[in-house]
Amino acid sequence: MITENPKKNIRTTSLEDLTAFFLANGEKAFRAKQVHEWVWKKSLVSFDEMTNISKNTRDLLAQHYTFNTLDIKSKQVSSDGTIKIAFSLYDNNIVEGVMIPTKDRKTACISTQVGCSLACEFCATGKLKRVRNLSYDEIYDQVVEINRITKEKYGEGLTNIVYMGMGEPLLNYKNTLTSIEKITSPDGLNMASRRITISTAGIAKMIKKLADDGVKVNLALSLHAANDEKRDKIMAINEQNSLESLAEALIYYHKETGKKVTYEYCLFKDYNDTLDDAKNLISFAKHVPCKVNLIEYNAIDDGIFRRSSDEVTDQFANYLRKHKVPASIRRSRGKDIDAACGQLANKN
């Protein structure tokens, strides 16, 4: 059983509150900014390493504040170079993150929740119950750790981040956006927002809220069927967020942001890979400027689906392209370590 730590988490303490703390303890106000720089720009998780702050001040901080750090429980490397990391959180819950290397990119796939509440039929994470949301510092820490591991193995850091791991980012909206702010801020990791993608199973009102809040990252919609009857069967969220409501939200999003949308479409043999399915997808794709990522399905325990053949996948992609819908085929990475799309389920 985890007992509540009486000390405050330094990383969920605002700059204003930290400034007030220093002033109340007879310290200079600028100390708060120094600490925030160590915490967010240099990603330190130890007061002892804050070398431009006196030992007395560091001791004062340690008396009142702590770091809710995550630890690496396990790390697996796929035959294709993909790395899967299981992170142990301060309360002993586990989430997973993945680094996917290609010739031009090093992409971190990170989680926003412990488990997931959406129960999509084709996703291993959906078989887990949702335990809790991750705090923004826990999301940020995944990026820091995956970036460090990437540099160690490949000699260069991350180029891209996708919020496509465990959980639904838009159901942890505030922490997701705050983590992005910490990752993109010049006072944080200073990564470009255009290199970050939020992937959602499709929550219409929250897609509109992204637009209203002027969020500058990219948006990907896990579509997987452009027919309500089929999508209802594999994604329960569609019952409250129909394709019509999603189309309306995406039109609003594009109007407000001017950004294209990416549709993630996992191909299931004899379910959503027919010519009629392609026609439905083309019709849905006409709503806003977009591109389609056709994803190779990855089998999960007790899964009811099978992967479409390479021939069918190629035919599907070519049909989309023939009708002016940009389509890319994403071959799975990390299948041998259960790190591929839809396979994250804390199996080690």
**Cα dihedral 60, 64, 70, 71 sign:** positive
Distance CA 169, CA 208 (A): 14
Task: Give 307's DSSP letter.
Answer: B
- Indicate the domain borders of the chain: 8-66, 71-337
Containing 327, the helix (H) or strand (E) segment is: strand 327-330
pLDDT recorded at residue 1: 44
Known catalytic residues? 96, 341
pLDDT digit string (tens) for 176-207?
999 999 999 999 999 999 999 999 999 999 99
pLDDT digit string (tens) for 14-71?
999 999 999 999 999 999 999 999 999 999 999 999 999 999 999 999 999 999 999 9
Strands annotated E in 130-215 = 132-133, 160-163, 196-200
pLDDT digit string (tens) for 215-274?
999 999 999 999 999 999 999 899 999 999 999 999 999 999 999 999 999 999 999 999
pLDDT recorded at residue 344: 46
CATH topology classification for 71-337: TIM Barrel (3.20.20)
- Whether residue 205 contacts residue 249, with contact meaning beta carbons closer than 8 Å, is answered with yes
How large a percentage of the chain has pLDDT more than 70?
91
What would be the CATH architecture of the domain defined by 8-66?
A: Orthogonal Bundle (1.10)
Q: Which residue has the tokens 């702590």?
A: 66
In sequence order, the 6+-apart residues with CB closer than 8 A to the CB of 193 are: 180, 184, 216, 217
